[in-house]
């Protein structure tokens, strides 16, 4: 399948958020990526459900909701109520991950799991056939604009091998330091969805940058 591009709302201009979302609506982006941070699981606080509910009313792109929070399973009904397509939880935040994945699917959303830079891919072996998507963090989660962790390319290769050998259909998404240069390496390694924040919103023409990332 053609790889997917998911601009990250975290890098948008929150003073003119509606304008940035309309730009995404008119672009070739596939999803809109939303990072919810609680200041506990990650050392930052982003935005919550009032913002997501407002965004959902004007976004024409499916919402890819990434919960960087403790106890994400408590908020499955709230995420569902936003109309989100994908609910993404961290492996490190879910001691009963299989149950959470089931609950997300039962709620009518696509379940996804994220692993931090220090979490090895092999830990996903027992749930890889149950998830719609795996997100590899290629920076330490919590802040935008960080430097890409180069070892992430090897993790994508390992995950691609695990998916292929298991017969899973899981999508590989990567978030952190994604730009035109790192995107090529990640796609060659087997990724098929890319989250892009600063690369898109700091570009002279964000819409054109989305087009360029989609065309790789």
The model's pLDDT over 154-191, given as tens digits with 9 standing for 90+, comes to: 999 999 999 999 999 999 999 999 999 999 999 999 99
Helix H, strand E, coil C: the string for the chain is CCCEEEEEHHHCCHHHHHHHHHHHHHCCCCCEEEEEEECCCCCCECCCHHHHHHHHHHCCCCEEEEEECCCHHHHHHHHHHCCCCEEEEEHHHCCCHHHHHHHHHHCCCEEEEEECCCCCHHHHCCCCCCCCEEEEECCCCCCCCCCCCCCHHHHHHHHHHHHHHHCCCCEEEEECCCCHHHHHHHHHHCCCEEEECHHHHCCCCHHHHHHHHHHC
The model's pLDDT over 87-142, given as tens digits with 9 standing for 90+, comes to: 999 999 999 999 999 999 999 999 999 999 999 999 999 999 999 999 999 998 76
Domain count, the chain: 1
Q: What are the residue numbers of the active site? A: 35, 175
The yes-or-no verdict on residue 152 having pLDDT over 90 is yes
pLDDT-derived band of residue 145, with 50, 70 and 90 as boundaries? low
The model's pLDDT over 18-39, given as tens digits with 9 standing for 90+, comes to: 999 999 999 999 999 999 999 9
What is the value of pTM for the model shown? 0.96
Domain of 157, CATH number, reads 3.20.20.70
The model's pLDDT over 25-83, given as tens digits with 9 standing for 90+, comes to: 999 999 999 999 999 999 899 999 999 999 999 999 999 999 999 999 999 999 999 99
Domain residues for the domain of 56 are 4-215
The yes-or-no verdict on residue 195 having pLDDT over 90 is yes
The yes-or-no verdict on residue 215 having pLDDT over 90 is yes
User: Residue 22: its pLDDT value, please?
Assistant: 98
């Amino acid at each position: 399948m053609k790889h997917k591009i998911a601009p990250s709302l975290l890098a948008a201009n929150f003073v003119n958020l509606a304008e940035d979302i309309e730009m995404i609506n008119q672009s070739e982006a596939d999803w809109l990526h939303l990072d919810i941070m609680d200041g506990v699981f990650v050392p930052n606080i982003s935005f919550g459900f009032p913002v997501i509910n407002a965004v959902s009313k004007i976004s024409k792109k499916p919402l890819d909701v990434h919960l960087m929070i403790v106890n994400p399973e408590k908020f499955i009904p709230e995420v569902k109520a936003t109309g989100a397509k994908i609910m993404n939880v961290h492996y490190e935040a879910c001691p009963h991950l299989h149950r959470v994945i089931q609950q997300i699917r039962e709620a009518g959303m696509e379940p996804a799991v994220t692993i931090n830079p220090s979490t090895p891919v092999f830990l996903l072996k027992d749930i890889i056939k149950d998830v719609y998507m795996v997100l590899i963090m290629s920076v330490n989660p919590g802040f935008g604009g960080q430097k890409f962790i180069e070892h992430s390319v090897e993790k994508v290769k390992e995950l691609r091998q695990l998916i292929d050998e298991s017969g899973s259909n899981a999508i590989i998404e990567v978030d952190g330091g994604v730009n035109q240069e790192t995107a090529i390496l990640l796609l060659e390694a087997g990724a098929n969805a890319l989250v892009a924040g600063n690369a898109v919103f700091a570009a002279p023409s964000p819409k054109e940058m989305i087009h360029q990332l989609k065309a790789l």
